[in-house]
């Protein structure tokens, strides 16, 4: 077989595999994960502050969510409310991006050549499969030594 014939068959194999991939879903998932994390990070910070405020006098005591938010704002300003946001944004963007990427690719693969829509259980199974795929990629990229990579 010639090198040109191998290239043509190789490219058709790749086009068959990636025919269901839409990168728009990856971008939408990353955008949604990043924006939701940026919008809700101050509340996540409040949750963590309440969790570590175990009654010790060394840590500030908060009377409620608003008191906690205003105290952080007065002490550290906007920077204080978004303390530790970078790893959360990376994690949420990557995990949601991968999830939507896999979910829509799996749904597209299952609906290929079908006239009718997927059943409700098929949507749920697709969501579970996408969750497993994104969880696997996320954990392998975060913890390579654990997986022997």
Report the largest interatomic distance among the alpha carbons of the chain, rounded to a whole angstrom. Answer: 78
Buried/exposed code over 38-47 (b: 16+ C-beta within 10 A; e: otherwise): eeebbeebbe
The tokens for 72 are 């952080």
C-alpha 52: how far from its chain's center?
26
Q: Are 117 and 111 in contact (CB under 8 A)?
A: yes
pTM of the model: 0.72
Instruction: List the pLDDT tens digit at each of the 149 positions of the chain.
Output: 444 444 555 566 556 656 777 788 889 999 999 999 999 999 999 998 888 876 666 666 788 899 999 999 999 999 999 999 998 899 889 899 999 999 998 998 888 888 888 899 999 999 999 999 988 887 776 665 655 55
Count of H-run helices and E-run strands, the chain: 5, 0
- For the chain, the domains span 23-109
Q: Are 89 and 37 in contact (CB under 8 A)?
A: yes
């Amino acid at each position: 077989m010639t090198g040109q014939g191998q290239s043509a068959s190789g490219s058709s194999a790749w086009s068959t595999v990636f025919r269901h991939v839409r990168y728009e879903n990856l971008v939408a998932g990353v955008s949604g994960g990043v924006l939701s994390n940026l919008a809700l990070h101050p509340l996540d910070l409040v949750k963590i502050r309440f969790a570590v405020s175990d009654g010790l006098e060394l840590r500030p005591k908060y009377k409620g969510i608003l008191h906690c938010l205003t105290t952080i704002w007065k002490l550290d300003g906007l920077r204080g409310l978004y303390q530790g946001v970078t790893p959360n944004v990376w994690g949420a963007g990557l995990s949601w991006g991968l999830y939507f990427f896999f979910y829509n690719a799996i749904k597209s693969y299952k609906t290929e050549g079908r006239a009718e829509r997927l059943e409700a259980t098929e949507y749920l199974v697709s969501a579970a499969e996408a969750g497993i795929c994104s969880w696997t990629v996320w954990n392998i990229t975060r913890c390579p030594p654990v997986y022997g990579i």
